[in-house]
Structure formats: structure tokens, C-alpha cells
């Protein structure tokens, strides 16, 4: 940009480049051609704005092009149009000899680029920049003029905690990065930018802390990101399968979080984070099965109480997935496993039920899942009513009609509540799938079927490696050092540690 | 394996996979088969056999250490030559297939006998073989992680044996020695040999081991752990039933557990049968992996996944043939003797050849 | 089903097998819960029952197996074989013997209206907790049955009395049990009580003892805890002024045995280290004084010694060995040991008993209430 001022001044002494028949055919097409290209590219988009005025007394036209609401018109007026319009007066001012240093300050934008590629110009336009096309100046100038059409930083909605920070990410990756930098104030925090999506040209940032994140893990993440070829990237959730992490597996292999503190914590443990422009959720890798039961608030409570709560979550997971199948299996086939004193109420409750236990369970699970889906998307007040109607009235009616046994309803209720205890909504989806799979196994082959499904699940999890880190860590392979943050959360001690947890292959 | 495998197996996984492979075989009927010959000294015989097997495992580990980045699908060709080596691998592979099938059939037979009487045994065998194929396709790193998880799943159930142990009468264990003559004790020892089939799987895991220096400790530890469990179960069975009743019970380990009643569950033997599936898959998958690698070792052009699937398919077809449980048990008793003889004699031969090779200055080639 | 009863009749088919309906039939009428079948074996009876009734009979929740006295004396190994061939047999089911017939016992309708099988299980569970007559399970019974030098002992039950105030002739059809294949007689509502111990030799019942003898026997076995023993003492104005009866609670009884063979006859020495608590001490002497308590403990221990000796001699006279004395002989005197002759040898055995007694709690009052000024 050093010679920008000279270039502008040089316009007054030079012939119009557009009239230069010897102008080589380059991407730039001159003032009119560039403007025509941009108009043609954006068609009749109503937010495509062109502000034309003249610079100087000799009629050099200037067009400022921007996308309304991506760029801020008032900012453009203040930082671009007014200074350039003032320049006309400045040119005739008796203090012209002081023009250069003074004029350099006219364009008061914080960032100025000289563009020689129309494609790049198009991208910047879509990114909220304003383009300055000056008659006689072949390169197009781009100035930063972003509006802030997104949300302000607010509290996390899906990951609430009682204690600790409450901030959440927004849709703008630059702001999100800033939020992270507020937490990790070190130059070792590295940020690598990628652009993905031929149609959306979405900015993606790969973030890690140098000397903590293992090099081979970062290299693999980088390589996977660079291999992503896609038309559109609307959200960070696309990336998990685009990067090749088990698109057909029901197990989440990445952590999605809207909390900067959680991302910062994971970065300090040696993981990598990915921010996607337009998505309020960051992606954290690698993640294992054990991480699905952890929440941000676990790190703000006392060690023993957090340990208890985590243990409850794990227990809830197994109850949620296995209890309905266990009911079907034990009541149908292996009731001898039930304690004798429990067999009496089981037998009496089952009297007169028209369906076999497996069908009974399947029907109830189906009804419950449909209710849950319905209640999720309804407005809050209506959703509450649906919950009451479905849960209480329907449950009561179905028992009185003698279609299911009360014991099954208890089992389903425990299973449902167990699934709600999952801290991660994506795990609830996993629970649903496993629940049906285990029910199928238990209905067909009793406990053997349940165990066979669990063995298949464990084998599948054992075969997963995310960025070279086994999914079942720290249980398999057993890592005693990492057990301090599995179910048991070790109390904090006065000892700074680098991450040793993410050594690949261990 | 064309290049040195990435070390990804921890020492603890080494222990869990070896002991997991051992546990599935024979723990169910071990007390009876040994006590029928060795009488009240059955538990001592089991202990003694275990100690001997621990020593043999050390030798097996030593052999593996001679070829740190190659498994038993490769070094036999180096030691015996390409033709004899392949012949040996064929016999070894057939043995692995037999053991895989026997493991699946025994478990399936037990399930059908005790729990799900109406279900044909081949249904369970198919499930086991399918799960084994999944485990094999996860390769050694994934398979060892699975075996570690299966170890954590199934080991706590053995602790239930403490309950009948406390209810037993120690007078049934007396006299410790002298109840039966020495030749009967030896017969009992041979009968116990099937329970230790499969420890040679360490030859396929060793190249992936991270800390090879301490492998002997962990390998022998695995066998000692299995020995400890076997001895405990045998002693409990003798104390709980008495020798006379023990000799008429088909699966005394399950019968011990059948009487345990705790607050949430009765019939712990049924629970045991369910959870034991995980250990059975460890054993069956280890033998399927062995057979796959050995077949692949015959020709380097063979794809691992396709070979495993093909062998698994063949086993599935063989499994459809129902083998009555008693015949399977009788076969397993004979198989155990053959298996032990084959492995020990091969081990000694290979150690000798490896030492000769070393003496001639041959090193273990790293491809 | 929840309970099985086996009786033996002189005429063929010899077995009268009674099944009490499954747990699920709690709502069935009292009379239809129990079914009896004549058959040549338990397996046959089970097959008949499965065909005759739509309900699923299963051994998975079997609570009690009851042998009628005569069936027990005939030998039960065939019945045990038929029971144990079912893989879902609940081996922790209790085994009991009843005076009279098992059918009569199982057609009893307890006063609470509870199903008889559950009623008996509750009763035997309480006995197990108190250990004054620890009930034997199928597992233990079958093991001991098979083991030479060791026998089983089981609870002895009997139906008693009636809680129905109406005369028997007025109780009518609702007072009986199911009668398919039975004798056609209804029964009245009655209760069930533990009346002693049944001693077995192998698979045969060889004798019964009273409840009191059974309790003393438990002391020798080491299975007694927290049960009440009623001891009759010689009249003594110092310790038992009002009545000769004193009740003690056994806190702990630890037996230790020694075996000797003297002139071809086994001699067993038993030392029982006992700790008791007094329940109804009404003596006039202060037990906090050593001389008083020592004398009293001596009197009590002599009484216990006598009771234990009597119980041991009674049981051994049957040829039954529930303690497993034969196993001690097998281990210590292997050349003397002969499993085939042990029954007869046991009948000649002699015992010497030593009871070391300590009193844990003497009660709140160290002497009795006696307002001295008011005494005549």
C-alpha cells in the first residue's frame, strides 16, 4: 500500500487506462469491465450496492461496491466516501504540499488491500469488504467494512452451568477466535486458516497450542482439512464426516461445544479445535467415549461431588441403553435371574397383557420417542403441555387399558430419564440407536443377544481411532495418568503440566 | 507384514489378551476333568500345571523376541525354510481353525444346554464367529483394546466364586497329597492342558508391543493370573461339592455360580454365561486372526480382510453342523494334549533353530 | 412352581407328588393352587402336570421341596436325580421333611392367606437368620447325600391347629387344596410349624429329633446364633426361685472337635466355647459378684453339656452324621476309615463334651424385684 497515494496522484497525469488499447488482457478488466463483471456476477441482488461519485475535478469516477448488511454503509461513508470526497477539496487546497501524509490518512480503514483478481474481489465482497473501483486505476481496492449482522456474545444455551464462565461462541469466527485468545494469552496459540465450500467459501480455522498438541496429530488434522472438497459448508457439524471420522458410526467422534472455556481447556490438554465461520459451535478433536460424559461445569465443582455426578452419568447411560432390553429379555426368557421376591410383582403385573414383552417394550419406546420429537420443536408452552399429556395422561391410560405393564413403564421412564442425564445432545441420539439395537438382541436371544450387541459395540469402539488416539482411552488402553479425569476428577494441584494424554497410539 | 508394525499395544493389554484367550477354554469343566483323575489334589495339580505353563510362556516370549517385528506367519519360513515352514504353518493354521471352532461350539453347546434350550447351537456359533470376524478386522491394535475391555467386563464375575468358597468345607481338600497315586495326578495334569490352549497368540501380538523389554514379565503374569483363577475355582469346587458330587457334575464352575443369590440377581451362572461371551469372542477371534495371518503368510498377495472373511465363512459353514456338547468336551480333552505337545515341541525346535541362526550371525531381517 | 411335595404310598404307583402353583397364580382360589399326581417318579408327575395344566411349571422359582416322612425313609435319590436334571432348578430351594404327608402340609392355608410355598419360605428364611434351626438347601442336601462320612439334616415341619374358629364340618370346600388325582378329601385351614430336625443317612431319613434337641445339636455344629434356649434347672432358690426354667440367648457358640480311635471305637471330644445372654434371670443373688456368676455359669454349662451330649448320642444312634465326623476320621485315620461301615461304627461312637460358658449380658437387673419391707 506504500505506493497507493502515488498511484492515486498519478491518475491525474496519466491517460485513462481504460482507453489504453494496449491494456493487456488480465483478470482485471478496467473500471467499467470490473464494474460490469461485478454487476453481472451478483445479478439483481437487492443487497448489491454501488455508490458512484467522482474524484477530482477531471471526472474520475469512483464506484464503491458492497453487499448491504455484510458491509456497514455508515462505516463506508465515514471511512471511504467522505475522505475520497474530501480529497477533491484537498486537491485544490493551498496546503497541497502536505497532502501526502495527510491524504494517506484519508482512507482511514484499518485494512486495505489491492486486488488484481476479480475472483478474489468477489470473495472479499461476500466477506463484508467494500470494493473501491477507481476509473483509471486497474487494481481494485478493498477496504474492510464489516457490519455485525450476527448476535452479540451471549450466554451458552445448550451447555448451561451453575458455576464458571457463561460466555458462548457466536456465528463469526473472528469474534470466536478473540474469545479464545482472551482465555489463552500465549503466542503459542496457532491459528491456521482454510477456505472451504465452492459456493459458500466458508472460512475454517484450525487452532492448537504449539508444543502441547502433538505434531503428528496436528499434521493429520491439517491434512484432513485440506482434503475437504465440498460445495457448501454451512456448519461445523459437517466437518466431522467430511474429515473422514466415521460417517456411518453412531458414536460421536468429535466434541461440539459453544463454550470458549471448554475449548480452551481442551486446547490446553493438547487437542485441536476447529472454528467454522457461521457456526456457533467449535469442533474439538480428538475425542473419546469417556469425553462424552464430561461437561464444562465438571471443572468448576469439587472433586468428589463431580466424581459422583460423572459416575451417575455413566450409570445413566447404561440404564438408558440396556434397561428396556433387559426387561424384555428377563421377563421373556430368563426370569430365573430376577430375585424371587421380585418375580411375584413381575408375574402379577404381566397378567392379562396382550403383547409379548418385546413388542410391549418396542411399542412404548416408539411412543416415547415420537413424543420426545414432537415436544422438542414445539413452542415452550405447548411443548410442556405435550409432555404432560404424553407422559402422564397417556401413560396412565395405557396402563389402565391393560396394554402395558406398570413395571415396563417404570423401566422406560428410568431409561428416558437416564438419556436426559446425558450432557451432550448428540449422545442422546446415540442412546436411542443403541437402545433399539439392544432391544432387538435381547428380544431374540435374551441376555446372550444383549451381550452380543454390546460386544459388537465395544469392538466397534475399540477399532476407532481419532487422529491416532484410541476412542476407548483411558480404559483401553488403560492409562492410569488419564484416569484422573475420567470418572474421578482429580483435585487441582500446584503443578503446571503439559499434555501427555494425547500421545498417539497410546 | 511388509513393514515393522507400529507399536501400539501396552504391556497391560499384552496381559489381558493372553489371559483372555486362556480363560474361555476349559474353566467351565476344569475342576471335574482334573478331579476325576487327581482327586482331592486337583487344585494342586492345576497350580503345578500353571507354573509349568508359565515357564513355557516365557520360552514362547523369548522366541518372539528373536523376531521383534515379525510374527509367527513369517519367522517359521526363516527358520525352517520356505517349504517346511509353510507345512508347519499349515498344521498350525489347522490347529487354530479347530480351536476357534471348538471354542465356539463349546460355548454354544453350554448355552443351549443351560439357558436357551430351543435355539439351535449353530445360531450362537454364528454370532460368535461374526463377532470374531469384526474383532479380527480391527487388527491387533483394535483387538487388544477390545480384549482389555472384555477383561474388565468378565473378571469381576469371577469374584462371585468367593461366596461358595466361604460356604465350602475345607475338609474335602484333605489330605493335600496322598489321596491319589502319582500317575493319576499326571493324568489330571494332562486333562488340565486344554485350559491353557491359546497362549501362543502372543507370537502375533509381540511385534506390536510398545515395551518389549518387559514382555516376559507380563506374558508369564498373564498365565499366572489364569492359573490363580483356575486354582481358586478348582479348590472352591472341591470344597463346595465334595469329590463324590463333583465327579458327576458336567460344568461345575457354572453349578457353583448357580446357587449364588444376591440382592439384585439370582442365578449368577446365567449372568456368567452372558458376560462370558466377551471372553469367548477374544479366544475365537485370536484363533481366527492366527489362521488368517498364517494363510496370508503363505502368499503375500492375499488381502488380510478378504482372507479373514473367507476363513470366517468356512467356519460358519462348519459350525452349522451341530456337535453334541459331550462330544465337543471329549474332543477338547484330546485336543488339549495334542495342542500342548505341538506347541511345546515346536517351541523348543524353533528356539534351537533360532539360536543356531544367531550363532551363524544371522540377524532378524527388518523388511 | 413354588413348592413340590413328595409322598410314598404302599401301593403302586408309589409316589404322590404335589405341586403348588406358580407365583403368578397368587389370585387363584385357594383350592386350585395345589395339585397332586400319582406317578412312578417325579419326572413322570412333572410330565403329567405339564400336560394337564396350561400353566408353565418351572423349577426356576422353586422355593421348598417337602418330603413326607415315609417318602424320606424310602430313599430320595431318584427324586433328586429328577429334580437336578432341570437346568433352571433353583438349588437354593429349601429341603424339609414333614410329619405325616407332604400333601397335607402343602394344602395348608396359612392364616395370612399367603400362598403356602411363600409362607414356608418366609418361615424358613427367618429360621435361617436366627439359625436356631438353619434350613438346608437342595445344594447342600445333595452334596452331603453323596459324601460318605457326612450326612444331611433338614428341618422337620408339621401342620398344626387351625386358625378358623368354625368347626371342621362347617369349613367346607374352601378349606381344601386341589385334589386332582388325590384322595378326594378336603383339608381344613391350618398353620405350619417347625418341630425339630430330620436326620438323614445318605438319601434316607433315619430319625427325627425334637426342637430342643435340634438346638443343642446346632451348638455342636456351630450353627447356632441368637436363638433362645430354654433350660430346665434343678430347683434353686438362689438362681431360679420362681420356676426351674431359665431362658438364655446364645450369642456365640464355637465348637472344636478332636478325634481319637480307642480300641476300634471312635471317640470324639467336643469343646464348645459359648457366650450367652440371660433373658429372664430372676435369681436373688447378685451376678455381678464373681463367686455368684461362676457358680451360675457352672450350673448352666453343665446343663448345656448334658443337652448336647444327649443330642449327639440320639443323632449318632440313628447312624446319621450331619456334623461330618466321618470326614475327620477319614483325614486323621485313613487306614481306619471305611465308608461302607461308617454308619454302624458311628452308632458305637462315644463323646466327651466340655462347655466353656461366658455370660455376655446379665440383664438390667442384677437381682429380682423384691420390696424387702413387704416380705412376710
pLDDT of C123 above 80: yes
Residue B146 has its nearest CB partner, among A450, A458, A478, at A458
pLDDT at B85: 94
- The three-state DSSP-derived secondary structure of B206-245 is HHHECCHHHHHHHHHHHHHHHHHHHHHHHHHHHHHHCHHH
User: B7: distance to nearest CA of chain C, Å?
Assistant: 47
Was domain B11-346 assigned CATH 1.20.1740.10? yes
Q: Which residues of B touch A333 (CB under 8 A)?
A: 115-116
Grid cell at residue B220 = 508369564
Cβ within 8 Å of residue C75, ≥6 positions away: C202, C203, C204
A204, A233 contact by CB (below 8 A): yes
The pairs formed by B179-182 with CB atoms below 8 angstroms and a separation of 24 or more are: B179/B39, B179/B40, B179/B41, B180/B37, B180/B38, B180/B39, B180/B40, B180/B41
pLDDT of C93 above 60: yes
CB contact under 8 A, B242 and C150: yes
Confidence band (pLDDT; 50, 70, 90) for C184? very low
pLDDT at B4: 77
A463: nearest CA partner in chain B: B142
pLDDT at A119: 82
User: B278: distance to nearest CA of chain C, Å?
Assistant: 23
**How many degrees, rounded to 5, is the angle at CA A105 between CA A104 and CA A109?**
110
B135: nearest CA partner in chain A: A459
Q: Please indicate whether residue C216 or residue C187 has the higher confidence score (pLDDT).
A: C216
pLDDT of C183 above 50: no
Q: Phi then psi for C223, rounded to 5 degrees? A: -110, 15
A154, A132 contact by CB (below 8 A): no
- CATH match for C210-374 among 3.30.300.210, 3.40.1160.10, 3.40.640.10, 3.30.470.20: 3.30.300.210
pLDDT at B290: 96
pLDDT at A23: 37
Confidence band (pLDDT; 50, 70, 90) for A15? very low
A153, A142 contact by CB (below 8 A): no
pLDDT of A504 above 70: no
Q: Which residues of B touch A477 (CB under 8 A)?
A: 9-10, 12-13, 144-145, 148
pLDDT at B311: 95
Residue bearing cell 485468545: A181
pLDDT of C168 above 70: no
Do both A245 and A308 map to the same domain? no
- Give the burial string for C297-311 (b: 16+ CB within 10 Å, else e): bebbbebbbebbbbb
Residue A344 has its nearest CB partner, among C23, C58, C90, at C23
This model of the complex carries an ipTM of 0.94
Helix (H) / strand (E) element for A140: namely strand A140-144
pLDDT at A498: 54
User: A321: distance to nearest CA of chain C, Å?
Assistant: 27
CA–CA separation, A329 vs B271, rounded Å? Answer: 12
Check residue C272 and report its DSSP letter.
E
Residue A462 has its nearest CB partner, among B111, B138, B264, at B138
pLDDT at A501: 46
CA–CA separation, B247 vs A472, rounded Å? Answer: 43
CA–CA separation, B123 vs B129, rounded Å? Answer: 10
Q: Which of B139, B149, B157 would you mutate first to test chain A, the one with the most A CBs within 10 A?
A: B149
Q: Which residues of A touch C88 (CB under 8 A)?
A: 336
CA–CA separation, A439 vs A435, rounded Å? Answer: 6
Do both A42 and A87 map to the same domain? yes
CA–CA separation, C294 vs C285, rounded Å? Answer: 12
Q: What's the burial of C325, exposed, middle or buried (CB within 10 Å: 0-12/13-18/19+)?
A: buried
Q: Which of A346, A455, A475 would you mutate first to test chain B, the one with the most B CBs within 10 A?
A: A455
Q: Which residues of B touch C139 (CB under 8 A)?
A: 259
Do both A181 and A116 map to the same domain? no
Cβ within 8 Å of residue B256, ≥6 positions away: B161, B164, B233, B236, B237, B240, B241, B269
Q: Which of A27-36, A339-348, C200-209 has the highest mean pLDDT?
A: C200-209
pLDDT of A186 above 70: yes
**Number of structural domains in chain A:** 3
CA–CA separation, B245 vs B247, rounded Å? Answer: 5
pLDDT at A99: 41
Instruction: Point out the least confidently predicted range of A36-45, A222-231, B312-321, C316-325.
Output: A36-45
pTM comes to: 0.85
Cβ within 8 Å of residue A368, ≥6 positions away: A412, A416
Reported as a single tens digit per residue, the pLDDT across A281-337 is 999 999 999 988 888 888 888 899 999 999 999 999 999 999 999 999 988 888 888
Nearest C-alpha neighbor of B84 from the set B335, B349, B363: B349
Nearest C-alpha neighbor of C107 from the set C186, C165, C168, C181: C186
pLDDT of A49 above 90: no
DSSP string, A74-113: HHHIIIIIHHHHHHHHHHTSTTGGGHHHHHHTTS--S-EE
CB contact under 8 A, C24 and A348: yes
Reported as a single tens digit per residue, the pLDDT across A82-96 is 777 766 554 555 454
CB contact under 8 A, C331 and B175: yes
pLDDT at A402: 85
pLDDT at C178: 38
Confidence band (pLDDT; 50, 70, 90) for C148? very high
C232, C192 contact by CB (below 8 A): no
CA–CA separation, C127 vs C120, rounded Å? Answer: 10
Domain ranges of chain C: 3-202, 210-374
Confidence band (pLDDT; 50, 70, 90) for A25? very low
Residue A478 in any domain: the answer is no
Grid cell at residue A367 = 411412543
CA–CA separation, A263 vs A191, rounded Å? Answer: 14
Helix (H) / strand (E) element for C17: namely strand C15-20
Residue A49 in any domain: the answer is yes
Nearest C-alpha neighbor of A388 from the set A373, A402, A400, A371: A371
User: A271: distance to nearest CA of chain C, Å?
Assistant: 52
A447 touches chain B (CB under 8 A): yes
User: B305: distance to nearest CA of chain C, Å?
Assistant: 40
Q: Which of A247-256, B225-234, B356-365, C231-240 has the highest mean pLDDT?
A: B225-234
Residue bearing cell 514382555: B215
pLDDT at B367: 38
User: A410: distance to nearest CA of chain B, Å?
Assistant: 16
Do both A187 and A271 map to the same domain? yes
DSSP string, C293-349: HHHHHHHHHHHHHHHHHHHHHHHHHHT--TT-HHHHHHHH-TTT--TTTHHHHHHT-
Length of chain A equals: 506
Q: What's the burial of A149, exposed, middle or buried (CB within 10 Å: 0-12/13-18/19+)?
A: exposed
pLDDT of C52 above 90: no
User: C37: distance to nearest CA of chain B, Å?
Assistant: 26
Q: Which residues of A touch C26 (CB under 8 A)?
A: 344, 347-348
CB contact under 8 A, B270 and A334: yes
Q: Which of C141, C142, C143, C144 would you mutate first to test chain B, the one with the most B CBs within 10 A?
A: C143
Q: Which residues of A touch C118 (CB under 8 A)?
A: 344
CA–CA separation, A58 vs A9, rounded Å? Answer: 12
pLDDT at B289: 97
Q: Please indicate whether residue A382 or residue C211 has the higher confidence score (pLDDT).
A: C211
Grid cell at residue C71 = 417318602
pLDDT at C171: 57
Residue A340 has its nearest CB partner, among C27, C58, C63, at C63
Q: Which residues of C touch B241 (CB under 8 A)?
A: 143
Cβ within 8 Å of residue B66, ≥6 positions away: B75, B354, B358, B364
CB contact under 8 A, C24 and A335: no
Which positions of chain B have pLDDT values less than 50? 1, 364-367
Q: Which of A40-54, A480-494, C84-98 has the highest mean pLDDT?
A: C84-98
Grid cell at residue A432 = 436411542
- Which chains lie within 8 Å of chain C at 3 or more CB pairs, if any? A, B
pLDDT at A24: 39
Q: Which residues of C touch B175 (CB under 8 A)?
A: 331, 334
CB contact under 8 A, B115 and A477: no
**How many degrees, rounded to 5, is the angle at CA A44 between CA A40 and CA A46?**
135
Domain ranges of chain B: 11-346
Domain with A406 in it: 303-463
Confidence band (pLDDT; 50, 70, 90) for C176? very low
B10: nearest CA partner in chain A: A477
A465: nearest CA partner in chain B: B142
Do both A140 and A194 map to the same domain? no
In this prediction, residues C174-181 reach a mean pLDDT of 40
Residue C324 has its nearest CB partner, among B169, B245, B267, at B169
Which positions in chain A have a beta carbon within 8 angstroms of at least one beta carbon in chain C? 335-336, 340, 343-344, 347-348, 350-351
Q: CB atoms < 10 A from the CB of C107, how many? A: 30
Dihedral, CA of residue A171, residue A173, residue A176 and residue A182, to nearest 10: -160
A503: nearest CA partner in chain B: B8
Q: Which residues of A touch C23 (CB under 8 A)?
A: 343-344, 347
3-class DSSP assignment, residue A261: helix
Residue B259 has its nearest CB partner, among C91, C147, C334, at C91
pLDDT at C103: 92
Q: Which residues of B touch C143 (CB under 8 A)?
A: 240-242, 245
Residue bearing cell 407328588: C17
In this prediction, residues C229-257 reach a mean pLDDT of 83
Amino acid at each position: 500500500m506504500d505506493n497507493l497515494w502515488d498511484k492515486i496522484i498519478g491518475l491525474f497525469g496519466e491517460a485513462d487506462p481504460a482507453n489504453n488499447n494496449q491494456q493487456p488482457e488480465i483478470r482485471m478488466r478496467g473500471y467499467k469491465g470490473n464494474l460490469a463483471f461485478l454487476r453481472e456476477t451478483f445479478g439483481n441482488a437487492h443487497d448489491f450496492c454501488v455508490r458512484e461519485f467522482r474524484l477530482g475535478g477531471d471526472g474520475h469516477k469512483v464506484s464503491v461496491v458492497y453487499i448491504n448488511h455484510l458491509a456497514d454503509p455508515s462505516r463506508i461513508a465515514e471511512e471511504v466516501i467522505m475522505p475520497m470526497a474530501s480529497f477533491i477539496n484537498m486537491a485544490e487546497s493551498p496546503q497541497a504540499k502536505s497532502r501526502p501524509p495527510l491524504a494517506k490518512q484519508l482512507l482511514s480503514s484499518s485494512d486495505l488491500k489491492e486486488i488484481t483478481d476479480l475472483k478474489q474481489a468477489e470473495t472479499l465482497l461476500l466477506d463484508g469488504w467494500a470494493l473501491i473501483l477507481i476509473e483509471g486505476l486497474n487494481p481494485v481496492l478493498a477496504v474492510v467494512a464489516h457490519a455485525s449482522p450476527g448476535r452479540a456474545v451471549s450466554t451458552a444455551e445448550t451447555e448451561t452451568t451453575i458455576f464458571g464462565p457463561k460466555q458462548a461462541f457466536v456465528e463469526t469466527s473472528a469474534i470466536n477466535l478473540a474469545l479464545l485468545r482472551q482465555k489463552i494469552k500465549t503466542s503459542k496459540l496457532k491459528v491456521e486458516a482454510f477456505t472451504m465450500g465452492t459456493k459458500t467459501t466458508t472460512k475454517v480455522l484450525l487452532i492448537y497450542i504449539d508444543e502441547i498438541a502433538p505434531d503428528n496429530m496436528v499434521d493429520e488434522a491439517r491434512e484432513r482439512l485440506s482434503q475437504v472438497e465440498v460445495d457448501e459448508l454451512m456448519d461445523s457439524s459437517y466437518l466431522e464426516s467430511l474429515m473422514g471420522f466415521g460417517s456411518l458410526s453412531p458414536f460421536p467422534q468429535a466434541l461440539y461445544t459453544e463454550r470458549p472455556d471448554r475449548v480452551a481447556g481442551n486446547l490446553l490438554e493438547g487437542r485441536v479445535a476447529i472454528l467454522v465461520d457461521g457456526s456457533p459451535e467449535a469442533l474439538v478433536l480428538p475425542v473419546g467415549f469417556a469425553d462424552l460424559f464430561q461437561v464444562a461445569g465438571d471443572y468448576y465443582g469439587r472433586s468428589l461431588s463431580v466424581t459422583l455426578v460423572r459416575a451417575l452419568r455413566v450409570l445413566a447411560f447404561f440404564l438408558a441403553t440396556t434397561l428396556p432390553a433387559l426387561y424384555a429379555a428377563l421377563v421373556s426368557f430368563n426370569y430365573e435371574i430376577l430375585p424371587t421376591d421380585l418375580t411375584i410383582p413381575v408375574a402379577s403385573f404381566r397378567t392379562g397383557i396382550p403383547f409379548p414383552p418385546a413388542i410391549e417394550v418396542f411399542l412404548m419406546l416408539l411412543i416415547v420417542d415420537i413424543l420426545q420429537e414432537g415436544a422438542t420443536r414445539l413452542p415452550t408452552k405447548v411443548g410442556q403441555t405435550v409432555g404432560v399429556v404424553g407422559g402422564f395422561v397417556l401413560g396412565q391410560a395405557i396402563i389402565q387399558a391393560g396394554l402395558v405393564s406398570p413395571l415396563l413403564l417404570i423401566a422406560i421412564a428410568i431409561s428416558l430419564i437416564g438419556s436426559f442425564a446425558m450432557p451432550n445432545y448428540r449422545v442422546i441420539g446415540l442412546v436411542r440407536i443403541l437402545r433399539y439395537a439392544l432391544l432387538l438382541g435381547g428380544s431374540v436371544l435374551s441376555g446372550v443377544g444383549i451381550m452380543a450387541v454390546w460386544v459388537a459395540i465395544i469392538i466397534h469402539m475399540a477399532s476407532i481411532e481419532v487422529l491416532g488416539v484410541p476412542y476407548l482411552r483411558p480404559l483401553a488402553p488403560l492409562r492410569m495418568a488419564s484416569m484422573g479425569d475420567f470418572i474421578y476428577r482429580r483435585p487441582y494441584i500446584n503443578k503446571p503440566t503439559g499434555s501427555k494424554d494425547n500421545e498417539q497410539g497410546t | 507384514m511388509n513393514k515393522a508394525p507400529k507399536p501400539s499395544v501396552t504391556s497391560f493389554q499384552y496381559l489381558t489378551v493372553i489371559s483372555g484367550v486362556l480363560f474361555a477354554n476349559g474353566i467351565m469343566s476344569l475342576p471335574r476333568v482334573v478331579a476325576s483323575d487327581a482327586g482331592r489334589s486337583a487344585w494342586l495339580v492345576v497350580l503345578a500345571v500353571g507354573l509349568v505353563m508359565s515357564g513355557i510362556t516365557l520360552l514362547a516370549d523369548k522366541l518372539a523376541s528373536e523376531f521383534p517385528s515379525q510374527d509367527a506367519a513369517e519367522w517359521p519360513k526363516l527358520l525352517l525354510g520356505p517349504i517346511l515352514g509353510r507345512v508347519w504353518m499349515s498344521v498350525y493354521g489347522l490347529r487354530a481353525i479347530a480351536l476357534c471352532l471348538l471354542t465356539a461350539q463349546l460355548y454354544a453347546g453350554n448355552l443351549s444346554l443351560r439357558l436357551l434350550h430351543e435355539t439351535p447351537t449353530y445360531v450362537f456359533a454364528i454370532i460368535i464367529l461374526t463377532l470374531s470376524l469384526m474383532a479380527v478386522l480391527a487388527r491387533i491394535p483394535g483387538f487388544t483394546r477390545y480384549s482389555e475391555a472384555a477383561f474388565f467386563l468378565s473378571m469381576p464375575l469371577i469374584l462371585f466364586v468367593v461366596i461358595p468358597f466361604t460356604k465350602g468345607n475345607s475338609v474335602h481338600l484333605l489330605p493335600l497329597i496322598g489321596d491319589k497315586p502319582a500317575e493319576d495326578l499326571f493324568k489330571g495334569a494332562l486333562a488340565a492342558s486344554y485350559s491353557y490352549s491359546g497362549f501362543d497368540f502372543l507370537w502375533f501380538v509381540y511385534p506390536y508391543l510398545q515395551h518389549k523389554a518387559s514382555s516376559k514379565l507380563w506374558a508369564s503374569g498373564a498365565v499366572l493370573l489364569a492359573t490363580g483363577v483356575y486354582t481358586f475355582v478348582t479348590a472352591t469346587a472341591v470344597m463346595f461339592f465334595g469329590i463324590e458330587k463333583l465327579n458327576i457334575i458336567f460344568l461345575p464352575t457354572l453349578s457353583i455360580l448357580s446357587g449364588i443369590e444376591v440382592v439384585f440377581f439370582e442365578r449368577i451362572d446365567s449372568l456368567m454365561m452372558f458376560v462370558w461371551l466377551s471372553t469367548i469372542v477374544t479366544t475365537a477371534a485370536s484363533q481366527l486372526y492366527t489362521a488368517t495371518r498364517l494363510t496370508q503368510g503363505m502368499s503375500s498377495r492375499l488381502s488380510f480382510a478378504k482372507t479373514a472373511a473367507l476363513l470366517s465363512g468356512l467356519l460358519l459353514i462348519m459350525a452349522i453342523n451341530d456337535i453334541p456338547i459331550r462330544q465337543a468336551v471329549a474332543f477338547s480333552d484330546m485336543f488339549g494334549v495334542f495342542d500342548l505337545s505341538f506347541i511345546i515341541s515346536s517351541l523348543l525346535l524353533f528356539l534351537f533353530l533360532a539360536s543356531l541362526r544367531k550363532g551363524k550371525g544371522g540377524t532378524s531381517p527388518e523388511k | 412352581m413354588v413348592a413340590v411335595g413328595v409322598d410314598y404310598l404302599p401301593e403302586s404307583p408309589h409316589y404322590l407328588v404335589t405341586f403348588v402353583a406358580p407365583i403368578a397364580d397368587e389370585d387363584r382360589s385357594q383350592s386350585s393352587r395345589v395339585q397332586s399326581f400319582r406317578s412312578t417318579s417325579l419326572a413322570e408327575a412333572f410330565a403329567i402336570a405339564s400336560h394337564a395344566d396350561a400353566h408353565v411349571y418351572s423349577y426356576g422359582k422353586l422355593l421348598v421341596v417337602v418330603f413326607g416322612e415315609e417318602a424320606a425313609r424310602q430313599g430320595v435319590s431318584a427324586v433328586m436325580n429328577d429334580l437336578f436334571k432341570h437346568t433352571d432348578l433353583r438349588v437354593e430351594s429349601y429341603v424339609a421333611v414333614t410329619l405325616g404327608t407332604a400333601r397335607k402340609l402343602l394344602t395348608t392355608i396359612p392364616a395370612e392367606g399367603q400362598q403356602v410355598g411363600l409362607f414356608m419360605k418366609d418361615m424358613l428364611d427367618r429360621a435361617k437368620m436366627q439359625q436356631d434351626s438353619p434350613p438346608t438347601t437342595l445344594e447342600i442336601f445333595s452334596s452331603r447325600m453323596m459324601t460318605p462320612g457326612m450326612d444331611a439334616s433338614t428341618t422337620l415341619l408339621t401342620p398344626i391347629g387351625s386358625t378358623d374358629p368354625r368347626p371342621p364340618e362347617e369349613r367346607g370346600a374352601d378349606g381344601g387344596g386341589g385334589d386332582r388325582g388325590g384322595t378326594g378329601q378336603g383339608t381344613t385351614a391350618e398353620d405350619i410349624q417347625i418341630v425339630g430336625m430330620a436326620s438323614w443317612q445318605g438319601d434316607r431319613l433315619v430319625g427325627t429329633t425334637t426342637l430342643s434337641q435340634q438346638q443343642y445339636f446346632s451348638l455342636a455344629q456351630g450353627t447356632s446364633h441368637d436363638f433362645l434356649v430354654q433350660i430346665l434347672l434343678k430347683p434353686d432358690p438362689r438362681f431360679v426361685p420362681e420356676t426351674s426354667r431359665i431362658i438364655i440367648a446364645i450369642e456365640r457358640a464355637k465348637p472344636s472337635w478332636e478325634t481319637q480311635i480307642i480300641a476300634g471305637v471312635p471317640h470324639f471330644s467336643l469343646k464348645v466355647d459359648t457366650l450367652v445372654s440371660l433373658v429372664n434371670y430372676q435369681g436373688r443373688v447378685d451376678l455381678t459378684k464373681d463367686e455368684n456368676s461362676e457358680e451360675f455359669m457352672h450350673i448352666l454349662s453343665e446343663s448345656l453339656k448334658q443337652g448336647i451330649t444327649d443330642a449327639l448320642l440320639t443323632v449318632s444312634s440313628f447312624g446319621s452324621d450331619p456334623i461330618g465326623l466321618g470326614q475327620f476320621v477319614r483325614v486323621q485315620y485313613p487306614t481306619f476309615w471305611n465308608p461302607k461301615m461308617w454308619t454302624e461304627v458311628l452308632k458305637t461312637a462315644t463323646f466327651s463334651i466340655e462347655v466353656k460358658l461366658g455370660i455376655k449380658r446379665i440383664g438390667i437387673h442384677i437381682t429380682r424385684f423384691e420390696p424387702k419391707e413387704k416380705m412376710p
